[in-house]
């Protein structure tokens, strides 16, 4: 059984919130006709893609003796467990028990199958617990559906708790320090006042006295999937089209690991779009990566109890609010 | 680089948007384009003039026109 309702609030807070969508891995990680084992929310899953591209996500556990289905064989529209050949369809139904035809496992839906969607190159899955198997409405990040915007996905795997990765995004002030030696965040004041501004889908955490200079604001959006939106100016060398934005998501892999998804997007069209894409692939992607590595190095070096022994100040209001929100949700889900 | 299909944790790949390692021509064009954007501006006419003034021409050696530049960006930015 997966994602039980009996998990403690501490476990959920550490391993990821249920009853919402999460990005899992990039779509290209699962080839047509292929399978991939993934860990998410502290549990083992199998991504399974038919040759026509249809994707399914199953608990990586044979309903017979618990062997990992990911060690099994891809049979086109189902997977056969390597241990005893038990065959499981993409909706989790046992279609065949070769060792004992007619066995009462056949025809039963015994494996958890998560609803999946593919969005701008990423696989999103609904992680409902036992009481919430049906997915809630998912509203996709508007920069990823805006025909005026163009995006590249960057995915990376970090040895940090998912909360630290999200908190880092709700902490814009680190841009002026950690990323001072970067191609985009060298400018602007190193002092600031911040405010929280509520929206109907989350909240903004923003500087009150500077905009469009550094990483000056961030919006947390809870639209069935949790994501952030932010904007960072490009230097003139990046050509026409103004700042680039980031849609960020974090996949809680387990208590100590996170998959981070950053879509760098720009509202740019025609030759300007083409020139940005060319520069991005040739020169800019590497510079963006170097900035992301600064985050990874810092966050991976943070002690595990970093959030237990702190002395916070006004710049941390966005983080404090995020924690309260997630902690409350974890407690509600463990009830 | 980690194999994206079977790769072990962690996946850390600098280049995820490329289909190939850029050619010397592509590197030179990109670097010059950045210089032109910085010093000449962002208008198409300025960009074409800036590239030609620096003798950084199309792959066939011909000076850029607005039309040939658009077509090449479209090819390289696909």
A237 vs B34: CB contact, 8 Å cut-off? yes
- Check pLDDT > 80 for residue B2: no
Cβ contact A17:A253 at 8 Å: no
Q: Could you report the per-residue pLDDT of A48-97, keeping only the tens digit for each?
A: 999 999 999 999 999 999 999 999 999 999 999 999 999 999 999 999 99
Average pLDDT over residues B10-22: 97
For chains A and B, count residue pairs whose Cβ atoms are closer than 8 Å: 98
Q: Tell me which chain A residues have a C-beta less than 8 angstroms from the C-beta of B5.
A: 29-31, 34, 36
Cβ contact A217:A231 at 8 Å: yes
Answer whether B78 touches A (CB < 8 Å): yes
Answer whether A37 touches B (CB < 8 Å): no
Tell me how close the Cα of B14 comes to any Cα of chain A, in angstroms.
Answer: 6
Cβ contact A227:A221 at 8 Å: yes
Q: Confidence band (pLDDT; 50, 70, 90) for A2?
A: confident
Q: Confidence band (pLDDT; 50, 70, 90) for B13?
A: very high
Instruction: Report how far residue B72's alpha carbon sits from residue B78's, in angstroms, rounded to the nearest whole number.
Output: 10
DSSP reduced 3-state for A138 = coil
Q: Tell me which chain A residues have a C-beta less than 8 angstroms from the C-beta of B10.
A: 156-159, 257
A158 vs B5: CB contact, 8 Å cut-off? no
Contacts of A227 (CB under 8 A, 6+ apart): A141, A221, A247, A248, A249
Instruction: Report how far residue A84's alpha carbon sits from residue A43's, in angstroms, rounded to the nearest whole number.
Output: 23
pLDDT at B52: 97
DSSP of A156-188: EEESS-HHHHHHHHT-GGGGGTTTTTSSSSS-S
């Amino acid at each position: 059984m997966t994602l039980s309702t009996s998990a403690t609030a501490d476990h959920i807070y550490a391993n990821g919130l249920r009853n919402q969508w999460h990005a899992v891995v990039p779509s290209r990680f699962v080839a047509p006709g292929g399978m991939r084992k993934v860990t998410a929310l502290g549990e083992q899953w199998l991504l399974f893609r038919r040759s026509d591209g249809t994707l399914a996500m199953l608990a990586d556990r044979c309903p017979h003796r618990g062997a990992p289905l990911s060690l099994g064989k891809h049979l086109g529209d189902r997977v056969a467990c390597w241990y005893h050949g038990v065959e499981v369809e993409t909706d989790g139904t046992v279609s065949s028990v070769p060792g004992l035809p007619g066995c009462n496992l056949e025809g039963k839906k015994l494996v958890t199958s998560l609803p999946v969607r593919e969005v701008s190159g990423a696989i999103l899955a609904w992680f409902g617990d036992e009481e919430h198997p049906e997915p809630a409405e998912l509203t996709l990040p508007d920069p990823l559906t805006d025909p005026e915007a163009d995006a590249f996905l960057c995915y990376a795997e970090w040895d940090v708790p998912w909360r630290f990765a999200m908190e880092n995004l709700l902490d814009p002030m680190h841009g002026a320090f950690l990323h001072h030696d970067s191609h985009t965040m060298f400018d602007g004041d190193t002092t600031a006042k911040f405010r929280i501004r509520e929206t109907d889908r989350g909240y903004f955490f923003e500087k009150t006295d500077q905009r469009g200079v550094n990483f000056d604001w961030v919006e947390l959006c809870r639209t069935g999937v949790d994501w952030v939106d932010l904007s960072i100016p490009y230097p003139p060398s990046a050509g026409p089209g103004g700042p680039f934005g980031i849609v960020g998501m974090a996949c809680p892999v387990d208590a100590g690991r996170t998959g981070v998804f950053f879509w760098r997007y720009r509202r740019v069209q025609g030759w300007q779009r083409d020139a940005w894409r060319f520069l991005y692939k040739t020169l800019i992607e590497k510079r963006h990566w170097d900035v992301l590595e600064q985050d990874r190095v810092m966050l991976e070096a943070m002690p595990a109890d970093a959030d237990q022994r702190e002395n916070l100040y006004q710049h941390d209001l966005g983080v404090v609010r995020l924690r309260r929100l997630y902690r409350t949700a974890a407690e509600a889900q463990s009830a | 680089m980690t194999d994206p299909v079977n790769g072990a944790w962690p996946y850390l790949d600098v280049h995820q948007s490329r289909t190939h390692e850029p050619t010397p021509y592509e590197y030179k064009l990109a670097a010059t384009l950045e210089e032109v954007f910085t010093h000449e501006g962002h208008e198409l006419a300025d960009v074409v003039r800036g590239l030609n003034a620096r003798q950084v021409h199309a792959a066939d050696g011909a000076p850029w026109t607005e039309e040939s530049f658009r077509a090449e960006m479209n090819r390289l930015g696909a």
